[in-house]
Structure 1
Amino acid sequence: MIELVMGLMIWISTQTGWPVPEPPEIVYIESSQEMFLLSNDCHNEPNQPICSTYNPDHSNILGLYNNEIKTIFLEKDFWWASVRDQSILLHELVHHMQYTKNWEHYRKKCKGDIEKEAYDLQEKWLAIRGLDLGKTIDLGPLMRHVLTQCDIM
Protein backbone atom coordinates (compact mmCIF):
# COMPACT_ATOMS: atom_id res chain seq x y z
CA MET A 1 0.00 0.00 0.00
CA ILE A 2 2.64 2.57 0.99
CA GLU A 3 4.64 1.68 -2.12
CA LEU A 4 1.67 2.56 -4.34
CA VAL A 5 0.97 5.79 -2.45
CA MET A 6 4.61 6.88 -2.70
CA GLY A 7 4.80 5.82 -6.36
CA LEU A 8 1.73 7.89 -7.20
CA MET A 9 3.06 10.92 -5.31
CA ILE A 10 6.41 10.62 -7.12
CA TRP A 11 4.54 10.52 -10.45
CA ILE A 12 2.53 13.62 -9.46
CA SER A 13 5.78 15.34 -8.48
CA THR A 14 7.36 14.57 -11.87
CA GLN A 15 4.34 16.14 -13.60
CA THR A 16 4.06 19.23 -11.39
CA GLY A 17 7.44 19.89 -9.80
CA TRP A 18 5.82 19.77 -6.36
CA PRO A 19 7.83 18.20 -3.53
CA VAL A 20 6.79 14.75 -2.30
CA PRO A 21 5.35 15.15 1.22
CA GLU A 22 4.79 12.60 3.95
CA PRO A 23 1.91 10.34 2.91
CA PRO A 24 -1.55 11.13 4.25
CA GLU A 25 -3.55 8.88 6.53
CA ILE A 26 -6.04 6.71 4.63
CA VAL A 27 -9.40 5.86 6.18
CA TYR A 28 -12.06 3.57 4.73
CA ILE A 29 -15.68 4.68 4.80
CA GLU A 30 -18.42 2.09 5.29
CA SER A 31 -21.19 3.64 3.23
CA SER A 32 -21.90 6.18 0.53
CA GLN A 33 -24.04 8.04 3.07
CA GLU A 34 -21.04 8.51 5.38
CA MET A 35 -18.98 9.73 2.40
CA PHE A 36 -21.79 12.15 1.52
CA LEU A 37 -21.95 13.52 5.06
CA LEU A 38 -18.19 14.03 5.13
CA SER A 39 -18.24 15.89 1.82
CA ASN A 40 -21.42 17.91 2.13
CA ASP A 41 -20.89 21.62 1.79
CA CYS A 42 -23.54 23.42 3.79
CA HIS A 43 -24.56 26.97 3.00
CA ASN A 44 -25.51 29.15 5.93
CA GLU A 45 -28.75 31.01 5.69
CA PRO A 46 -29.54 33.35 8.57
CA ASN A 47 -29.39 31.14 11.68
CA GLN A 48 -29.82 27.91 9.72
CA PRO A 49 -27.42 25.71 7.74
CA ILE A 50 -28.87 24.40 4.50
CA CYS A 51 -27.35 21.11 3.33
CA SER A 52 -28.07 18.87 0.41
CA THR A 53 -30.26 15.86 1.10
CA TYR A 54 -28.70 12.44 0.77
CA ASN A 55 -30.01 10.33 -2.09
CA PRO A 56 -28.32 6.93 -2.45
CA ASP A 57 -29.17 6.85 -6.17
CA HIS A 58 -27.23 10.06 -6.77
CA SER A 59 -24.27 9.65 -4.45
CA ASN A 60 -21.18 9.15 -6.57
CA ILE A 61 -18.47 10.43 -4.25
CA LEU A 62 -15.53 8.13 -4.87
CA GLY A 63 -12.99 9.60 -2.48
CA LEU A 64 -12.34 12.64 -0.31
CA TYR A 65 -9.37 14.54 1.05
CA ASN A 66 -9.56 16.51 4.30
CA ASN A 67 -6.75 19.05 4.24
CA GLU A 68 -7.19 19.96 7.92
CA ILE A 69 -6.30 16.47 9.15
CA LYS A 70 -4.33 15.34 6.06
CA THR A 71 -6.55 12.31 5.57
CA ILE A 72 -7.91 10.59 2.48
CA PHE A 73 -11.26 8.84 2.80
CA LEU A 74 -11.91 5.93 0.43
CA GLU A 75 -14.83 3.58 -0.05
CA LYS A 76 -14.55 0.40 2.03
CA ASP A 77 -14.55 -1.60 -1.23
CA PHE A 78 -11.48 0.22 -2.55
CA TRP A 79 -9.39 -2.30 -4.46
CA TRP A 80 -5.67 -1.52 -4.50
CA ALA A 81 -5.06 -3.56 -7.69
CA SER A 82 -7.75 -1.74 -9.70
CA VAL A 83 -6.48 0.95 -12.08
CA ARG A 84 -9.80 2.77 -11.62
CA ASP A 85 -9.39 2.82 -7.85
CA GLN A 86 -5.72 3.76 -8.12
CA SER A 87 -6.76 6.75 -10.24
CA ILE A 88 -9.21 7.80 -7.51
CA LEU A 89 -6.40 7.58 -4.97
CA LEU A 90 -4.16 9.59 -7.30
CA HIS A 91 -6.83 12.31 -7.53
CA GLU A 92 -7.01 12.57 -3.74
CA LEU A 93 -3.20 12.52 -3.47
CA VAL A 94 -3.10 15.51 -5.82
CA HIS A 95 -5.21 17.36 -3.26
CA HIS A 96 -2.89 16.24 -0.46
CA MET A 97 0.10 17.55 -2.39
CA GLN A 98 -1.65 20.80 -3.34
CA TYR A 99 -2.38 21.66 0.27
CA THR A 100 0.93 20.36 1.61
CA LYS A 101 2.86 22.37 -0.97
CA ASN A 102 1.18 25.69 -0.31
CA TRP A 103 -1.72 25.48 2.12
CA GLU A 104 -2.33 29.23 2.25
CA HIS A 105 -2.50 29.51 -1.56
CA TYR A 106 -4.87 26.57 -2.04
CA ARG A 107 -7.03 27.52 0.91
CA LYS A 108 -7.88 30.73 -0.97
CA LYS A 109 -8.36 29.15 -4.41
CA CYS A 110 -11.79 28.29 -5.69
CA LYS A 111 -12.76 24.63 -5.40
CA GLY A 112 -13.20 24.35 -9.18
CA ASP A 113 -9.56 25.28 -9.88
CA ILE A 114 -8.36 22.80 -7.28
CA GLU A 115 -10.52 20.04 -8.78
CA LYS A 116 -9.41 20.88 -12.32
CA GLU A 117 -5.76 20.28 -11.43
CA ALA A 118 -6.65 16.94 -9.87
CA TYR A 119 -8.87 15.80 -12.76
CA ASP A 120 -6.28 16.87 -15.35
CA LEU A 121 -3.57 14.81 -13.66
CA GLN A 122 -5.92 11.86 -13.15
CA GLU A 123 -6.86 12.03 -16.84
CA LYS A 124 -3.19 12.09 -17.90
CA TRP A 125 -2.32 9.14 -15.64
CA LEU A 126 -5.23 7.09 -17.01
CA ALA A 127 -4.40 8.03 -20.63
CA ILE A 128 -0.90 6.59 -20.17
CA ARG A 129 -2.68 3.33 -19.34
CA GLY A 130 -4.95 3.59 -22.38
CA LEU A 131 -8.04 4.55 -20.38
CA ASP A 132 -10.46 7.45 -20.60
CA LEU A 133 -11.24 9.37 -17.40
CA GLY A 134 -14.92 9.85 -18.17
CA LYS A 135 -15.53 6.19 -18.92
CA THR A 136 -13.34 4.91 -16.09
CA ILE A 137 -15.06 6.80 -13.29
CA ASP A 138 -18.38 7.52 -15.04
CA LEU A 139 -17.79 11.27 -15.25
CA GLY A 140 -19.49 12.95 -18.18
CA PRO A 141 -18.15 16.16 -19.74
CA LEU A 142 -20.97 18.29 -18.36
CA MET A 143 -20.46 17.05 -14.78
CA ARG A 144 -16.69 17.56 -15.09
CA HIS A 145 -17.33 21.09 -16.33
CA VAL A 146 -19.60 21.80 -13.36
CA LEU A 147 -17.10 20.36 -10.85
CA THR A 148 -14.21 22.41 -12.23
CA GLN A 149 -15.93 25.80 -12.44
CA CYS A 150 -15.62 28.69 -10.06
CA ASP A 151 -18.50 30.91 -9.04
CA ILE A 152 -18.82 33.70 -11.56
CA MET A 153 -20.61 36.06 -9.18
Structure 2
Amino acid sequence: MIRAIVIGLALLCPAAVGACPAPLPMSVPDAVTEALAAWIEAHSDYTVPEGAPAIFMCQSGEVITYEGHDLLVDSDLRAAYDLVEDRIFLVGPWSEDDPMQLSSLLHELIHRAQFHARDWPCPAAAEPEAYRLQEAWLAERGIDPGFEWVEIYLHARCPSDRHP
Protein backbone atom coordinates (compact mmCIF):
# COMPACT_ATOMS: atom_id res chain seq x y z
CA MET A 1 0.00 0.00 0.00
CA ILE A 2 2.82 2.38 0.83
CA ARG A 3 4.23 2.03 -2.67
CA ALA A 4 1.22 4.03 -3.91
CA ILE A 5 3.07 7.01 -2.50
CA VAL A 6 5.93 6.65 -4.90
CA ILE A 7 3.79 6.99 -8.01
CA GLY A 8 5.05 10.55 -8.42
CA LEU A 9 8.59 9.49 -7.58
CA ALA A 10 9.32 7.85 -10.94
CA LEU A 11 8.51 4.17 -11.04
CA LEU A 12 9.39 4.29 -14.72
CA CYS A 13 9.14 1.14 -16.75
CA PRO A 14 12.43 -0.49 -17.71
CA ALA A 15 12.78 -0.83 -21.46
CA ALA A 16 13.18 -4.60 -21.14
CA VAL A 17 9.62 -5.03 -19.90
CA GLY A 18 8.03 -4.22 -23.26
CA ALA A 19 4.49 -3.22 -24.05
CA CYS A 20 1.54 -4.75 -22.26
CA PRO A 21 -2.13 -4.66 -23.23
CA ALA A 22 -3.80 -1.29 -22.77
CA PRO A 23 -5.73 -0.83 -19.51
CA LEU A 24 -9.43 -1.46 -19.87
CA PRO A 25 -11.96 1.34 -19.34
CA MET A 26 -13.94 0.63 -16.21
CA SER A 27 -17.45 1.62 -15.35
CA VAL A 28 -17.87 2.74 -11.75
CA PRO A 29 -21.48 3.73 -11.02
CA ASP A 30 -22.00 7.50 -10.83
CA ALA A 31 -23.66 6.99 -7.44
CA VAL A 32 -20.36 5.60 -6.10
CA THR A 33 -18.13 8.41 -7.36
CA GLU A 34 -20.71 11.05 -6.40
CA ALA A 35 -20.94 9.69 -2.84
CA LEU A 36 -17.15 9.72 -2.53
CA ALA A 37 -16.98 13.26 -3.94
CA ALA A 38 -19.64 14.42 -1.47
CA TRP A 39 -17.66 12.86 1.38
CA ILE A 40 -14.48 14.66 0.27
CA GLU A 41 -16.29 18.00 0.15
CA ALA A 42 -17.87 17.40 3.59
CA HIS A 43 -14.55 16.43 5.21
CA SER A 44 -12.10 18.83 3.58
CA ASP A 45 -11.83 22.34 2.17
CA TYR A 46 -11.84 20.97 -1.38
CA THR A 47 -14.44 21.29 -4.07
CA VAL A 48 -14.34 18.21 -6.26
CA PRO A 49 -14.16 19.06 -9.98
CA GLU A 50 -17.40 18.41 -11.83
CA GLY A 51 -17.80 15.20 -13.76
CA ALA A 52 -16.05 11.95 -13.10
CA PRO A 53 -12.56 11.28 -14.42
CA ALA A 54 -12.01 8.42 -16.82
CA ILE A 55 -11.35 5.25 -14.83
CA PHE A 56 -9.29 2.32 -16.09
CA MET A 57 -8.53 -1.12 -14.70
CA CYS A 58 -4.94 -2.33 -14.90
CA GLN A 59 -3.00 -5.22 -13.43
CA SER A 60 0.22 -5.59 -11.48
CA GLY A 61 3.09 -6.06 -13.90
CA GLU A 62 1.32 -4.14 -16.66
CA VAL A 63 2.82 -1.03 -18.23
CA ILE A 64 0.56 2.02 -18.37
CA THR A 65 1.10 5.48 -19.79
CA TYR A 66 1.04 7.76 -16.77
CA GLU A 67 1.57 11.50 -17.13
CA GLY A 68 3.42 11.01 -20.40
CA HIS A 69 5.75 8.25 -19.16
CA ASP A 70 5.62 4.47 -19.16
CA LEU A 71 4.94 3.20 -15.66
CA LEU A 72 5.33 -0.39 -14.52
CA VAL A 73 2.42 -1.13 -12.19
CA ASP A 74 4.12 -2.31 -9.02
CA SER A 75 2.59 -5.16 -7.02
CA ASP A 76 2.00 -2.80 -4.06
CA LEU A 77 0.26 -0.10 -6.11
CA ARG A 78 -3.53 -0.02 -5.60
CA ALA A 79 -4.44 3.04 -7.71
CA ALA A 80 -3.02 6.14 -9.37
CA TYR A 81 -4.36 9.52 -10.51
CA ASP A 82 -2.99 10.92 -13.78
CA LEU A 83 -3.40 14.70 -13.58
CA VAL A 84 -2.27 15.25 -17.16
CA GLU A 85 -5.06 13.10 -18.64
CA ASP A 86 -7.54 13.42 -15.71
CA ARG A 87 -7.89 9.69 -15.26
CA ILE A 88 -7.65 7.14 -12.50
CA PHE A 89 -6.09 3.71 -12.75
CA LEU A 90 -7.41 1.07 -10.36
CA VAL A 91 -5.32 -2.06 -9.96
CA GLY A 92 -7.32 -5.28 -10.16
CA PRO A 93 -8.83 -7.10 -8.65
CA TRP A 94 -11.01 -4.18 -7.55
CA SER A 95 -14.55 -4.09 -6.24
CA GLU A 96 -16.71 -1.24 -5.01
CA ASP A 97 -18.04 -3.71 -2.40
CA ASP A 98 -14.64 -3.94 -0.66
CA PRO A 99 -14.13 -0.84 1.55
CA MET A 100 -10.32 -1.01 1.34
CA GLN A 101 -10.44 -1.17 -2.45
CA LEU A 102 -13.10 1.55 -2.57
CA SER A 103 -10.87 3.70 -0.37
CA SER A 104 -8.20 3.49 -3.08
CA LEU A 105 -10.62 5.20 -5.47
CA LEU A 106 -11.41 7.75 -2.75
CA HIS A 107 -7.68 8.43 -2.32
CA GLU A 108 -7.27 9.17 -6.03
CA LEU A 109 -10.40 11.36 -6.09
CA ILE A 110 -8.83 13.29 -3.21
CA HIS A 111 -5.71 13.81 -5.33
CA ARG A 112 -7.89 15.02 -8.18
CA ALA A 113 -9.47 17.61 -5.87
CA GLN A 114 -6.08 18.55 -4.37
CA PHE A 115 -4.35 19.10 -7.71
CA HIS A 116 -7.24 21.08 -9.16
CA ALA A 117 -7.43 23.31 -6.06
CA ARG A 118 -3.82 24.40 -5.72
CA ASP A 119 -0.23 23.93 -6.74
CA TRP A 120 1.92 21.55 -4.73
CA PRO A 121 5.72 21.72 -4.50
CA CYS A 122 5.72 18.16 -5.89
CA PRO A 123 3.05 15.45 -6.29
CA ALA A 124 4.34 13.51 -3.29
CA ALA A 125 3.66 16.46 -0.97
CA ALA A 126 -0.09 15.84 -1.30
CA GLU A 127 0.14 12.26 -0.02
CA PRO A 128 -0.06 12.73 3.78
CA GLU A 129 -3.29 14.72 3.51
CA ALA A 130 -4.80 12.19 1.09
CA TYR A 131 -3.86 9.33 3.40
CA ARG A 132 -5.31 11.17 6.44
CA LEU A 133 -8.63 11.65 4.64
CA GLN A 134 -8.60 8.04 3.45
CA GLU A 135 -7.90 6.89 7.01
CA ALA A 136 -10.84 8.99 8.31
CA TRP A 137 -13.18 7.50 5.69
CA LEU A 138 -12.09 3.98 6.65
CA ALA A 139 -12.41 4.78 10.38
CA GLU A 140 -16.05 5.74 9.80
CA ARG A 141 -16.48 2.16 8.59
CA GLY A 142 -14.62 0.65 11.55
CA ILE A 143 -11.48 -0.15 9.56
CA ASP A 144 -7.92 0.61 10.62
CA PRO A 145 -5.82 0.64 7.43
CA GLY A 146 -2.57 0.29 9.35
CA PHE A 147 -0.79 2.95 7.34
CA GLU A 148 2.93 3.31 8.04
CA TRP A 149 3.00 7.05 8.78
CA VAL A 150 6.76 7.40 9.07
CA GLU A 151 7.16 5.82 5.65
CA ILE A 152 4.38 7.98 4.20
CA TYR A 153 6.03 11.17 5.47
CA LEU A 154 9.47 10.09 4.28
CA HIS A 155 8.14 9.42 0.78
CA ALA A 156 6.15 12.68 0.81
CA ARG A 157 9.25 14.85 0.82
CA CYS A 158 9.95 16.66 -2.40
CA PRO A 159 13.36 16.19 -4.04
CA SER A 160 14.27 19.75 -3.01
CA ASP A 161 13.59 18.80 0.65
CA ARG A 162 16.21 16.05 0.72
CA HIS A 163 19.68 16.58 2.00
CA PRO A 164 22.35 15.21 -0.35
Correspondence for 2:134 among 122, 133, 141: 122
Correspondence for 1:17 among 45, 67, 72: 45
RMSD, aligned CA:
2.7
Higher relative contact order (CA 8 A, sep 6+): 2
Render the CA deviation track for 1:15-66: whole Å, top value 9, x for unaligned: 123223221110111x21226x5569x8xxxxxxxx99x6x9x730100000
Which residues in structure 2 correspond to 1:67-146 (within 5 Å)?
A: 67-102=83-118, 105-106=119-120, 109-134=121-146, 139-146=147-154
Correspondence for 1:148 among 142, 153, 156: 156
- The corresponding residue for 2:23 is none
Which residues in structure 2 correspond to 1:8-87 (within 5 Å)?
A: 8-21=36-49, 22-29=51-58, 31-34=59-62, 38=65, 59-87=75-103
Render the CA deviation track for 1:51-82: whole Å, top value 9, x for unaligned: 99x6x9x7301000000110000013111111
Stretches of structure 2 that go unaligned for 5 or more consecutive residues are: 1-28
Higher helix share: 1
Flag as ranges the 4+ runs of structure 1 deviating above 4 A: 37-40
Q: When the two structures are superposed, what TM-score results if normalisation uses the length of structure 1?
A: 0.73
Stretches of structure 1 that go unaligned for 5 or more consecutive residues are: 43-50
Q: When the two structures are superposed, what TM-score results if normalisation uses the length of structure 2?
A: 0.69
Shift of 1:143: 2.8
Amino acid at match of 1:124: A
The percentage of aligned residue pairs carrying the same residue is 29
